[in-house]
Amino acid sequence: MARPRSSWSTAGLIRVVCGLCLTGAYTAEMRANVLLVVMDTARADAFDSYGAPPGSTPVATQLAQRGRALPAVIAPASWTLPSHAAMFTGLLPRTLGLGQSPGGTYHGARPVIEAHRHRLLPEAFRRAGYVTRAVSANVWISPVTGFDAGFDDFVALRSSRCDRVQLPGLRPRLSWYGEALRARVDDGAAEAEQVIHRWLAEDRRPFFWFVNLIECHSPYLPPRPYGDRSPLRRLLAAEDARRYLRVDTIWAACLGALTVPEQALVRMRHLYARSVRLMDDWLGRVLEALDMHGVLDDTLVVITSDHGENFGEANMIGHSFSLDQRLIHVPLIAAGPGAQGIAVASLVALPRLLAEAVGLSDHPWREAVPDGVAVAQCDPLSGADDPRIEQAVSRWHLDQEAVRRLTQPMTCATDGELKLLRFGDEDRLYDLIADPRELHPMAPDQPSVRELFGARHDRLAEALEPASRPGPALAPTSSAELSDAERQDIEQRMRLLGYL
């Protein structure tokens, strides 16, 4: 019998999440549902539980109070594709060959994901008798890239947001400005909520549901009431996106060739925070819907992110060319049946821990879970001999450090307080307590550094060495199965997100 509907007031919130108190793992006879929500691009410190101003994310805060907010979870990469691939397979991106998409194409990942189908999180739940469903607003997490493998139902959303932000000419620009003034369009959250309501009406077996929301991904233009600035400031925010959130300007800023004005960064930070609040309110309504249908108490709810975002820190914007903590420290909040078993330092370990939390014994993730140390990887788009690199060097007058960012791999190992970064063939050590912005690297082989951090450094180095090895070189694949219209649509959506 369905429970009575509760209003989503503070009192209603407390009543609903009280049902998500910590319990032991379910047995096979009474297996829990799983709802995994990835709030794409959400930094950990955008949430109350991780240092945001009180009231920034009230629903997530209540979940954390009734369940757990794990303090130091690390994403295995600083962008969507490799991070999700690792989160779904339990393997590091380079092990999969997915530090970047093979061939630099959006469809290159599909055969790799399909080849690891037996390890995929949804496939393991499907084999265990679960209904597996996904809804994603991110074009990188879609059937085109292979992430529909293992799901009984995969809904790929397409935002109605104007995608002509980068097109030249007056008419595309006016369309972009007009949409910003109206402030009515989200990036798929409302439709994702409708999809979940439909699933609730259909599913009777235990379910594994996955949701990817991109509301706080660039261009940071949430609808009203979250887009709460004046018409003039909304126009300025739209122009910020058009001018500074293209792939070339993101690269230029991160490589030291462009400085984004502080006023633009202030607008971006504010609207980013408002977009996170939009998703928090979305989560509240979804929890209420689960409660109304009588399944909330039987559902393990996990909220996390695939990577963070930079807003001018160290002159970086977006999530390129770096493994700083702002990009790889992600929230992970779990509440409901089995939540007490979710203790993880890396998203790579999440598949195993989710399976064990709900009592799945038949799963493929048998690798040892690292004890308190997590690694992350960032692979370059190409080598120094790529003509595009030469063009970038000439166009932006890049120095050698910037060229290294474009062409050298990065790998880091961290315990949340100390970080060892391998940048090309150079190791850099950061004390994250004394130097949270990672502006003052230390040479690990200096005697004073060895004396202070010797044993802890060695522990990080032990994890760093295997993670630094290059992955398999995978050949690009054809997108012949896509029509010209489909390819054009995908590329327009990627431009809107700043990927092309």
Within a domain: 3: no
Residue 340's pLDDT is what? 85
Q: Could you report the per-residue pLDDT of 460-474, keeping only the tens digit for each?
A: 999 999 999 998 877
Which carries the bigger pLDDT value, residue 47 or residue 29? 47
What is the average pLDDT across 151-160?
92
Q: Could you report the per-residue pLDDT of 414-437, keeping only the tens digit for each?
A: 999 999 999 999 999 999 999 999
Same-domain pairing of 320 and 453: no
Residue 57's pLDDT is what? 99
For residues 470 and 94, is the Cβ–Cβ distance under 8 A? yes
The model carries a pTM of 0.92
Same-domain pairing of 69 and 191: yes
Same-domain pairing of 258 and 319: yes
Q: Which helix (H) or strand (E) holds 153?
A: strand 153-156
Within a domain: 375: no
Query: Which of 18-32, 161-175, 361-375 is least confident?
Result: 18-32
Residue 73's pLDDT is what? 97
Within a domain: 399: yes
Within a domain: 487: no
Within a domain: 486: no
**Best-predicted range by mean pLDDT among 3-7, 125-129, 396-400?**
125-129
End residue of a domain, out of 321, 342, 370: 370
Same-domain pairing of 317 and 460: no
Does residue 497 carry a pLDDT above 80?
Answer: no
Total domain count for the chain? 2
Residue 22's pLDDT is what? 43
Confidence of residue 27 (pLDDT cuts 50, 70, 90): very low
Within a domain: 117: yes
Within a domain: 448: yes
Same-domain pairing of 349 and 392: no
Q: What are 224's two structure tokens?
A: 């009203």
Q: In terms of residue numbers, what domain contains 320?
A: 15-370
Same-domain pairing of 445 and 328: no
End residue of a domain, out of 339, 370, 401: 370
Within a domain: 214: yes
Which carries the bigger pLDDT value, residue 44 or residue 163? 44
Does residue 328 carry a pLDDT above 90?
Answer: yes
From 423, 431, 420, 430, select the one nearest 461 (Cα to Cα): 420
33: helix, strand or coil: strand
Residue 106's pLDDT is what? 78
Same-domain pairing of 300 and 223: yes
Q: What is the CATH number of the domain that holds 65?
A: 3.40.720.10
Same-domain pairing of 211 and 152: yes
Q: Could you report the per-residue pLDDT of 202-248, keeping only the tens digit for each?
A: 978 899 999 999 999 999 999 999 999 999 999 999 999 999 999 88
Same-domain pairing of 116 and 40: yes
Same-domain pairing of 180 and 327: yes
CA distances from 325 to 64, 310, 430, 475, 477 (A): 21, 10, 11, 32, 33
Instruction: Give the whole-angstrom CA distance, residue 140 versus residue 303.
Output: 19
For residues 318 and 498, is the Cβ–Cβ distance under 8 A? yes
Same-domain pairing of 345 and 391: no
Same-domain pairing of 324 and 405: no
